[in-house]
Amino acid sequence: MLRDVGFRLAPSGVLILRGPNGTGKSTLLRALAGLTPLAAGTLLWAGANALADLAEHAARIAWLGHLDAVKPALTAAEHVPVAALAAVGLERYADLPARLLSAGQKRRLAIARVAASERLLWLLDEPTTGLDTTSIMQFTALCEAHRQAGGMIIASTHTPLELSNTETLNL
């Protein structure tokens, strides 16, 4: 159970959640997404209770959990626009059913879905799991572009993310 957790995230901000397995990083992300009820405390967005209207809250967040949420029967292009596929190096697989993609390619497709969502806040749980060095660089570029547009990111990770001006919350 998490206790005494507090932070502020400004536009273009990045908060990295760190800590050993089992310390509550995923639990915190799920609570921030409105997927797990808060046992105590309040989640505020612009000074108002962010979870008072879950549909409104969901409209401002993009979620990337441990599971990639890729539908196996759909092609990559049926998940996201081809431009989003190009940003993660998957454009040549646009017509391929997702079930035929490797684990790393499915993760990249899930990242493309987040990037194409145009949501203000990205909640990312271990986003670089299964990615090679080139894919991590593409992911980093997408994160920086999101920030340049005023977007915010909260990510749990055990590996370093080469993003500028991040804050860290150790759990």
Half-sphere exposure of residue 41: CA atoms within 13 angstroms, side-chain side: 16
Any domain includes 3: no
Q: Are 75 and 116 in contact (CB under 8 A)?
A: no
pLDDT for 21 equals 86
Any domain includes 92: yes
Any domain includes 53: yes
pLDDT for 1 equals 64
Label residue 158 by pLDDT band (50, 70, 90): confident
For a pLDDT cut of 90, what percent of the chain falls above it?
77
Alpha helices in 34-102 (DSSP H): 54-58, 76-79, 82-87
Any domain includes 4: no
Pick the range with the lowest mean pLDDT from 1-10, 27-36, 37-46: 1-10
Cα–Cα separations (whole angstroms), residue 95 to 57, 81, 112, 117: 33, 11, 15, 20
**Cα angle, residue 131 at apex, residues 127 and 137 outer, rounded to 5°:** 85
Per-residue pLDDT for 12 more than 80?
yes
Task: Compute the mean pLDDT over every residue in the chain, rounded to the nearest whole number.
Answer: 92
Per-residue pLDDT for 3 more than 80?
no
What is the number of domains present in the chain? 1
Stretch 69-78: mean pLDDT: 94
Per-residue pLDDT for 2 more than 80?
no
Q: Structural domain of residue 154, as residue ranges?
A: 14-35+43-170
Any domain includes 9: no
Any domain includes 89: yes
d(CA 117, CA 157): 22
pLDDT for 50 equals 93
Question: Tens digit of pLDDT for each residue in 77-127?
Answer: 999 999 999 999 999 999 999 999 999 999 999 999 999 999 999 999 999
Any domain includes 113: yes
Any domain includes 8: no
Q: What is the CATH number of the domain that holds 131?
A: 3.40.50.300
